Structure 1
């Protein structure tokens, strides 16, 4: 179901990207707008990321196997890095072209047709962004979320184009507004690329989850009457999902079977009540002075425990 949603949403986006890219480049050439042509190239670059998601989702949605016991989620993370790098390369290329044309002595002012094309593109890509992001949040897909931001960057990159055309019509003496608008598009594209690449790199290097994850885990442990303490919480991400491990302290007089039952119950509580957690490893420890970290024993407790410690 998740894979089908990813492919359907991406395919719709790809069809719209082809249409917009052809319109932007064609109108940009006719109307003499370098910024709109650059924007059209940006739309074509979206097709590459669409292809990565369409074909790559079949791999990262595959279930865990003997070679990948934690699943294939990292393939989705690698796809995010690729999407971000492609976006950055497009931005750098467009920026370079804009800087080169700033040396032109009298660049032609773009026509109003470029304005209408830019406004139409803004509306369509913003609608596509909102729809794609809504689907990405619903199925918890990092790659689909990255592609949604790709759509948003495409919509935002059309804004300076529209503004430059209007400004050129009002102030015809300002000859370089279109080139400046293209540079603004470059900045937006590079910012979007960074916002895609950076979280993906953190995920690939097993960076910890957010503080909210640990706080929620502590809260759930506090709500369980059989868990005396929780510590050594660790988290890492894979394909946008979370893998957790922690130590819980229980009554030292408890049987192993009873303690194991508590850990299994706590594991199910975490998976069902925390968003996007796919696995939890829980280490059970006795609630003794040697193991307590959050609430260290008082001197009286230590003496009492030492007194009641069985001889070996």
Structure 2
């Protein structure tokens, strides 16, 4: 499958998230105000901010589909990672807001119990967002998209927020409003941890970090290619869901151009068999130590 086909597929996940957030935020805010639930209203506002994050992911995927130009020789694939980074910032802000609101409610508990309908809406929202999370997670693994994976984790966080809101509402109905605050605090911590994980992965990608395990496994594959005497240099980086690898290998100095070219093609084929979304550039260097060894012999 073409790389840009994967990016277009990723847009489906972003549109699904946007649609779900629009639907749920309207219901939560409406029922929250009607039923007198601060937790549900906060959850609804949380989904409003999630719409912004999903739009950012969608824009990142759209920009990633632009072909290379004079200023971007490798294309615009890193726009997807930048979208993930932006999503992590928004998630972190939401998590801090949840923590702050939970602490405030400890000192200013609500005296009027909310309507039971608000709890039903909260748990219904959690089920919807869990379904969206499963879909986006599966899609992100299929197309190997960091932005869609970030959106999936955001969906999961929102499902947890809704569960926390539902538990807190039930606690308030039963006369124990402190449960609302404790649950909201724990959910806030989960959201912040998820945001930090996405932030760390995005920063590593944007700073051209490369997985050491991938280097070791691919190095073994390269050294096993017939004609490769040594792997002199290995550099790798990722742009969105695409991996770029630059190699320098040494071969026998008496090989002709056709034989050397065959080695480069075989290296590319072997690597792309392991890593399909991969662009490989191989530089061939002659190993003159072979001639010296033959002369000494």
The equivalent of 2:286 in structure 1 is 286
The equivalent of 1:120 in structure 2 is 124
Give the match's secondary structure for 1:102: helix
Determine the C-alpha separation between the residues in 2 that align with 1:189 and 1:30. Answer: 27
Determine the C-alpha separation between the residues in 2 that align with 1:88 and 1:236. Answer: 27
The equivalent of 1:89 in structure 2 is 93
Determine the C-alpha separation between the residues in 2 that align with 1:3 and 1:236. Answer: 19
Structure 1 length normalisation: TM-score? Answer: 0.84
Pick the aligned partner of 1:185 from 173, 187, 192.
187
Kept after mapping to 2: 8 A contact 1:107/1:176: no
Structure 2 length normalisation: TM-score? Answer: 0.88
Give the match's secondary structure for 2:108: coil
Distance 1:223 1:165, change over 3 A: same
Pick the aligned partner of 1:47 from 44, 51, 57.
51
1:268-311, CA deviations, whole angstroms, 9 ceiling, x for partnerless residues? 3323432421x22222233455xxxxxxxxxxx99845726xxx
Determine the C-alpha separation between the residues in 1 that align with 2:37 and 2:234. Answer: 55
Which structure has the larger Rg?
A: 1
Kept after mapping to 2: 8 A contact 1:33/1:178: no
CA shift at 1:155, angstroms?
0.7
Determine the C-alpha separation between the residues in 2 that align with 1:3 and 1:213. Answer: 23
Distance 1:262 1:16, change over 3 A: same
The equivalent of 1:307 in structure 2 is 296
Give the match's secondary structure for 2:107: coil
Out of 129-138 and 255-264, give the one that drifted further: 255-264
Structure 1 unmatched runs, 5+: 290-300
Pick the aligned partner of 2:20 from 16, 21, 26.
16
Determine the C-alpha separation between the residues in 1 that align with 2:199 and 2:281. Answer: 29
Kept after mapping to 2: 8 A contact 1:259/1:284: yes
The equivalent of 2:74 in structure 1 is 70
CA shift at 1:199, angstroms?
0.6
RMSD of the alignment, in Å?
2.4
Determine the C-alpha separation between the residues in 2 that align with 1:232 and 1:255. Answer: 22
Give the match's secondary structure for 2:73: coil
Determine the C-alpha separation between the residues in 2 that align with 1:12 and 1:303. Answer: 65
1:182-229, CA deviations, whole angstroms, 9 ceiling, x for partnerless residues? 222322221221122111111111112x23322331232244222233
The equivalent of 2:216 in structure 1 is 215
CA shift at 1:256, angstroms?
4.1
Distance 1:120 1:304, change over 3 A: same
Kept after mapping to 2: 8 A contact 1:38/1:182: no
Kept after mapping to 1: 8 A contact 2:171/2:180: no
The equivalent of 1:206 in structure 2 is 208
Kept after mapping to 1: 8 A contact 2:230/2:249: yes
The equivalent of 1:295 in structure 2 is none
Structure 2 unmatched runs, 5+: none
Determine the C-alpha separation between the residues in 2 that align with 1:218 and 1:22. Answer: 53
The equivalent of 2:29 in structure 1 is 25
Give the match's secondary structure for 1:242: strand
